[in-house]
Amino acid sequence: MADFTLSDEAGQDLKSIAQYTLDRFGYEQARKYRYELYETLMLLAKRPGIGAACEQIRTQTRRFSHLSHMIYYRPLPQGILVLRILHHSQDPLRHL
């Protein structure tokens, strides 16, 4: 079964996204956005090739846009390793 693993940085990204969304938009929106991110990560784990290759940023890395964020990940035999989940305004060269 395909699954995803979060790097320490991606785990922190998720916490920051959840807190920002909670503070700015409230509990329901934070819950909804977190669920949608989870569903997107599960989709990527099952079909890692749907993300765009971004070798110029980091080798063996792909990216996939989810609303306000870009998910950077590395395909693995049984799923994906999520490297970072960055807001579109963040520079991936600086954060990866």
Q: What is the mean pLDDT of the chain?
A: 95
Instruction: Give 85's strand partners.
Output: 71
Predicted pLDDT at 55: 86
> How far is the CA of 87 from the CAs of 2, 47, 70, 72, 79, in angstroms?
25, 22, 6, 11, 23
Answer whether residue 28 shows pLDDT above 80. yes
Instruction: Give 62's strand partners.
Output: 53, 73
Q: Please give the domain boundaries of the chain with CATH numbers for all domains.
A: 3-86 (3.30.2310.20)
pTM of full prediction above 0.85: yes
Distance, CA of 33 to CA of 29 (rounded, Å): 6
Q: What digits encode the pLDDT tens for the residues 84-96? A: 999 999 988 788 8
CA angle 74, 78, 79 (to 5 degrees): 40
What share of the chain has pLDDT > 70, as a percent? 99
